[in-house]
Structure formats: C-alpha cells, structure tokens
Amino acid sequence: MFQYPLTFSFSAFAVSPTIQVKDAAGRVVFTAAKKLMSAKDEISLNVSGGTFKVISQENRITDIPSNWDIITPDGQTIGVIDDDFVTALDGMKFANNPALSDFLAGSAHRSLGLRAAPMYWIKDPSGIQLGFIAPDQKSLAIEQIPLYQFTRQLPFASRLIAPFYVIQLGGKLVMKLRKERTFFVDTYTLQAVEPFTEADEKLLVPSVVLTIVYERQRLKDLYE
C-alpha cells in the first residue's frame, strides 16, 4: 500500500497531461494519463505491479461517458465509477417525510438557481454503492458565487480557487482530497483519514484519478 499523503501533480496548461504521483517520502509511486485517441474514455495508471485502467462503458464518440470500469493489470473488473450531481442543499432536511423533504429541496434548488457539482459513486461490479467522492459543503457554497466574472478578467486568478473533496467508503470518511493553490503546476493532495484495506485502495485511488482528470477540466471551463 502507498504511504500517505499522496501528491498528484501535472502541467496546468497541457491538453492531456501525465499525472505524477508521489508518496509521503517524495518517491514517485505511479503515473497516470488519459488516452486521447480512443473510442472509449480511458485512463491508465502505471504502477510497479502493472497497469490499472479506468475505461468508460459508453463509446465517447456517440455518448457522454458516465460509467467507468476499474480494471486491474490482470484484466479483472473490480469496481465501477458512476457520475452524479450534488448541490449545497443535499443532505438538508426540509420535512420529516422523506418524499416531501426531497420535493422541497428540489423546489428550493430551482428557485435559488443553485449550481450543481459533479460527484462520483464508487460501486462494486454488480452496481451496489460502496462509497463516493464529492465536494465538501464549503466548496459547494463557494461555487454558488459568480467568481468567473472576476477570474476571467485577471490572469491566474482562477488558480487561487482550491476545492476540497470528501471520500467515503462503507459509510465512513476514509480520505480527503484537496486542490492546492498553485500557478504553473496543478497539484492535488490526497490524505488518508481512516484505515482501509489494500483491496479498498485499488478501488479508491483509480476513482480519485478519474475525479482529478474531470475536475481539472470542469474548473477550467467554469473559471477560465
């Protein structure tokens, strides 16, 4: 298993950069890159024991990828990543009745014009939800502020926006992911919060890499 925290770094300006990942001792433990020329969305994680792949179930030429298989070096599918959306109101209770609470939350979301942010479910191969990766409540709240009106006028201002992500597995918080404030190199730090197994790590780390790849592009589209 890796020594945490892990640091993910890559060029801020490359179209499809190679992500270099270092452990707590500063050693490069693996690299990851998204394949540009491919019918399916594909990310490779090159570790010492072989290559893990995260491959979309959908053909990205005809569909928008929304489900990705996590595949081990020996070709075994050990999990699925499924994207979804979350808002700053999610988790708030508006009534004792769950159905009514959901209805009121949806009505409030539409009335306030809240911006939803992507989140990622981590599932087993049969589709059972095991955990998720999502922005924390503070990051969701900041996204409701129209900062793009400011960041698009000042060079590098968007580089100061640093979201925070929570990673749960089995109903408990196991990791935290933070985007660092940097200028020429995108940097994310992954911190372990609670113990987890090597099998868990094989699900969690590829899911984090996928999240970083997509969040990088989303933040560029939103603020640059």
- Work out whether strand 19-22 and strand 6-11 pair parallel, antiparallel, or are unpaired: antiparallel
Which amino acid would we find at residue 128? I
Burial class for 88, CB neighbours closer than 10 Å (0-12, 13-18, 19+): buried
User: How far is the C-alpha of 81 from the C-alpha of 204, rounded, in Å?
Assistant: 10
Note the pLDDT of residue 138.
Answer: 84
Query: Roughly how many angstroms between the first and final C-alpha of the chain, as a whole number?
Result: 37
Q: What's the fold here for domain 6-84+117-223?
A: Porin (2.40.160)
Q: Which two tokens stand for residue 221?
A: 């589209």
pLDDT per position in the chain (224 positions), as tens? 999 999 999 988 787 889 999 999 999 999 999 988 788 989 999 998 899 999 999 987 788 888 999 999 999 999 999 998 775 445 444 345 454 444 434 443 444 455 677 899 999 999 999 999 999 888 877 776 665 555 555 656 666 778 899 999 999 999 999 999 888 889 999 999 999 999 999 999 999 999 999 888 777 766 55
Task: For residue 18, give the 3-state DSSP assignment.
Answer: coil
> Who contacts 145 (Cβ-Cβ below 8 Å, separation ≥6)?
none
- Compute CA distances 83 → 25, 58, 132, whole Å: 32, 13, 9
User: What amino acid is encoded at 109 in this protein?
Assistant: H
* pLDDT, position 218: 76
Q: Could you write out the DSSP letters of every residue in 42-53?
A: EEEEEETTEEEE
Q: What's the pLDDT at 92?
A: 41
Q: What confidence score (pLDDT) does residue 215 get?
A: 86
Global pTM? 0.83
**H-type helices in the chain, by residue range?**
98-112, 137-143, 148-151, 198-223
Q: What is the pLDDT of residue 22?
A: 98
Structural domain boundaries in the chain:
6-84+117-223
Q: How far apart are CA 203 and CA 213, in angstroms?
A: 16
Collapse the DSSP code of 7 into the 3-class scheme (helix H, G, I; strand E, B; otherwise coil) and give the result.
Answer: strand
State whether residue 224 is helix, strand or coil: coil
